[in-house]
Amino acid sequence: MFCRAFRVRSNTAIKGSDRRKLRTDVAAAFPNLSAEQLTEFIPNKEELNVIKIYTHKGEAVTVYTNSRNPILFEVEKALYPTVYALWAYPDLLPAFSTWPPVLQKLAGGADLMLPGVIVPPSGFPQVERGMLCAVTLSGNRAPVAVSVATMSTAEMLAAGMKGKGFAVLHTYMDHLWEYGDKSYPPTLAPLVTDPAEKESADDEEEMEEKEPVSSFSTDPLQHVDIGDLSLKEQDSCAILMGKEEHNENKAAETADDDNTEVQQEAEDSRTPQEQMDALLSQCFFHALKCKVKKSDLPLLTSTFLRSHMFPCCPAGQQLDIKKSSYKKFSKFLQCMQHQKILQVKELSKGVESIVEVDWKHPDIKAFTVPEGFSSASAAQDCKSEDKEQAYHAPEIIPLYGVSTKMVPLFQESGHKKGSILSSSEVRNIIVNYVKTNELVDEANKNFVKVNAILCDCLLDKSEQDEISNLKWDDLLSRCLERLQPLHQVTFFGQEPIVRKGKIEPIDITIAQRSSNKKVTIIKNLELYGLDPQSVANILQQKVQASATIAPVPGTKDRVQVQIQGNQIHHLAKMLLEEYQLPRKYIQGLEKAPKLGRKK
């Protein structure tokens, strides 16, 4: 539900009478809370707020926060606890455990399938279909997800632990968790009540002391996902999802040199998604260790993927992020940032860059260049940059958001304020509205009769008494003008990004410096996935003139390329022919010097 960003509609403080009502509702929803716990959960004096939000699917959700941390969310009058609340009251819901690598998939929007659920020695808690349940990770009682059981316990066992077991509503690391203080799950030891289970736990503890490689750290970061384990642990962690618990230690031992055959078998048994996760990590660490230099930073994330990671992909394999468990490159980088390997910032609106890399991080130091790369090519990679892979121009689609004034015109089609539409969708909605309300002029079907709603939405006050009919083209153009302009940008190998306003074109200007010298200035390259430093280097080589990077005046984090002379002809050839950018997104090409015979 919260795997994508949501939109906040309102945020208000909860007063005394509303607090009492909320406490009554919580007591009814969670009767196992004691009176003392209930008072702690919904305190009398601490800051409590109620926030109305819309999810990415348009669902209306009410969120209750305590000291800015979400503690409850309400959907269709049903209350659900957040992971922040469950960390304070871990036994509030019946809990089912899964392996750490599964968490990344749950945070990406997947439901919990029964093959991924760990069967405890004491058996499952007894639940009925539709009952609220918590999801924990192996070895830690702190819940990491809130879900609804799609089967009863008896049905799960009767189905042979196959099929979907739990519909996941909210997880650690999703956008609702990000709305809080982004704290990590506490480390809570599993409850051991059965003597046989306690003896089994003691045996496991002894095994952990003997074979520390296979144990999970008590550090909460180690319970995030497969990306949070060291490179050698990732392979063993992937195996855990499909093996019995007694095979865990054996799988971990495959990292040793004397067990390479067992490791090969383990790698072959991985699912395609797990193999793509491993390939993604391999290319990531290879690129950081051998290709990226400190002088390259800040580095656009799209450039890092295209020009540094893709060339590190072994021959015969193809890096496809959509086939990994991360689905988005930004999600993968966020995971790497949690491990403090690098730092990513949004230097320009909607454009992320890598601003810092910890080259002393143990995972980068431990990485070795795969055998598929020759030592000569590896040495060359570590000393110099490879040629950039072909640049792919982003796909740019203009979109429109429904504004407050235009809501009456679009609400019949089920859209509300903030709904995002393409131009063709807007056209279809308007055509259907006109036909449904029989507004086509019978005398001349090229005209549409203006009713009260069209009058309020599309006509200025001075026009409302004068205009009674509009041509179809005029009707549609007026509608598009009054909607909020947006645009969607899709970079190669990445998920689409929706930004407000119209996209700014690449702006090329000519400025005059001292001694009557001219310089060419290029702005907004980052918006199109172009690295300003790379463009400056290429131009400098092509025209044999000095090129520099400088901050854009009046901005904090944006940069522009400056190159000596009027170089618009070279720029036009590079942007239009080599990079295949549409001319409409480049401004200033008309300032190129006229080519003529020199006198």
| Backbone CA torsion sign across 147, 150, 156, 160 | negative
What is the CA angle 55-501-479, rounded to 5? 85
pLDDT at 250 over 60: no
pLDDT at 277 over 50: yes
Give me the mean pLDDT over the 343-351 stretch: 80
Give me the mean pLDDT over the 360-366 stretch: 87
pLDDT tens string 158-187: 888 899 999 999 999 998 998 898 888 888
271-293 residues labelled b (16+ CB within 10 A) or e (exposed): eeebbbbbbbbbbbbbbbbbbbe
Across 148-157, 183-192, 358-367, 549-558, the highest mean pLDDT is recorded for 148-157
Predicted local confidence at residue 203, as pLDDT: 52
Calpha distance 108→541 (Å, rounded): 44
Pairing, β 69-75 against β 117-118: unpaired
pLDDT at 484 over 90: yes
Phi, psi of 136 (to 5 degrees): -120, 170
Which CATH number, 3.40.1260.10, 1.10.245.10, 3.30.1490.190, 3.90.1170.20, labels domain 395-490? 1.10.245.10
Predicted local confidence at residue 202, as pLDDT: 52
Give me the mean pLDDT over the 15-41 stretch: 89
**C-beta neighbour count of 153 within 10 angstroms:** 19
CA atoms within 13 A on the CB side of 174: 27
Looking at CATH, the fold of the domain delimited by 504-591 is given as: Translation Initiation Factor Eif1 (3.30.780)
221-241 residues labelled b (16+ CB within 10 A) or e (exposed): ebbbbbbbbebbbbbbbbbbb
Q: 514 or 584, which is more confident?
A: 584
Predicted local confidence at residue 197, as pLDDT: 45
Least confident stretch, 30-44, 151-165, 198-212, 560-574: 198-212
Calpha distance 188→184 (Å, rounded): 12
Calpha distance 562→573 (Å, rounded): 17
pLDDT at 19 over 70: yes
pLDDT at 194 over 70: no
Predicted local confidence at residue 236, as pLDDT: 38
**Alpha-carbon dihedral of residues 429, 432, 433, 434, nearest 10 degrees?**
130
Q: Which residues lie closer than 8 Å to 390 by C-beta, 6 or more apart?
A: none
Q: 45 or 152, which is more confident?
A: 152
Contact 236, 255 (CB under 8 A): yes
Write out 130-191 in H/E/C secondary structure. CCEEEEEECCEEEEEEEEEECCCHHHHHHCCCCCEEEEEEEECCCHHHHCCCCCCCCCCCCC
Give me the mean pLDDT over the 238-243 stretch: 40
Give me the mean pLDDT over the 57-62 stretch: 85
pLDDT at 408 over 70: yes
Q: 231 or 278, which is more confident?
A: 278
Give me the mean pLDDT over the 579-595 stretch: 87
pLDDT band at 242 (very low <50, low <70, confident <90, very high): very low
pLDDT band at 151 (very low <50, low <70, confident <90, very high): very high
Give me the mean pLDDT over the 546-552 stretch: 86
pLDDT tens string 70-84: 999 999 889 999 999
pLDDT band at 541 (very low <50, low <70, confident <90, very high): confident
56: amino acid identity, one letter:
H
Calpha distance 191→139 (Å, rounded): 10
pLDDT band at 439 (very low <50, low <70, confident <90, very high): very high
Give me the mean pLDDT over the 480-493 stretch: 89
Predicted local confidence at residue 586, as pLDDT: 93
Partnered with residue 521 across adjacent β-strands are 509, 562
pLDDT at 198 over 70: no
pLDDT tens string 410-423: 988 888 988 999 99
**C-beta neighbour count of 366 within 10 angstroms:** 12
Give me the mean pLDDT over the 414-443 stretch: 91
Predicted local confidence at residue 599, as pLDDT: 42
Give me the mean pLDDT over the 299-323 stretch: 85
| The pair of three-digit structure tokens given for residue 342, joined into one six-digit string | 């690098």
pLDDT band at 86 (very low <50, low <70, confident <90, very high): very high
Write out 502-557 in H/E/C secondary structure. CCCCEEEEEEECHHHCEEEEEECCHHHCCCHHHHHHHHHHHHCCCEEEEECCCCCC
Residue in this structure with the two tokens 């019978």, named with its chain if needed: 442
32: amino acid identity, one letter:
N
Predicted local confidence at residue 380, as pLDDT: 44
Residue in this structure with the two tokens 């949070």, named with its chain if needed: 228
pLDDT at 597 over 70: no
pLDDT band at 558 (very low <50, low <70, confident <90, very high): confident
Q: Average model confidence (pLDDT) for the chain?
A: 81
Q: 595 or 29, which is more confident?
A: 29
Work out the percent of the chain whose per-residue pLDDT is above 70.
82
Predicted local confidence at residue 595, as pLDDT: 65
pLDDT at 384 over 50: no
Predicted local confidence at residue 215, as pLDDT: 36
Looking at CATH, the fold of the domain delimited by 7-179 is given as: Sulfate adenylyltransferase (3.10.400)
Contact 135, 143 (CB under 8 A): yes
Calpha distance 583→573 (Å, rounded): 11
Calpha distance 536→534 (Å, rounded): 5
**Residue 501 vs residues 165, 307, 427, 458, 488: alpha-carbon distances, Å:** 43, 29, 20, 20, 10
Predicted local confidence at residue 90, as pLDDT: 92
Closest CA to 288 of 224, 361, 199: 361
pLDDT at 436 over 80: yes
Give me the mean pLDDT over the 436-459 stretch: 91
**Alpha-carbon dihedral of residues 455, 457, 461, 465, nearest 10 degrees?**
0
Question: Cis link prior to 298 (omega < 30° from 0)?
Answer: yes
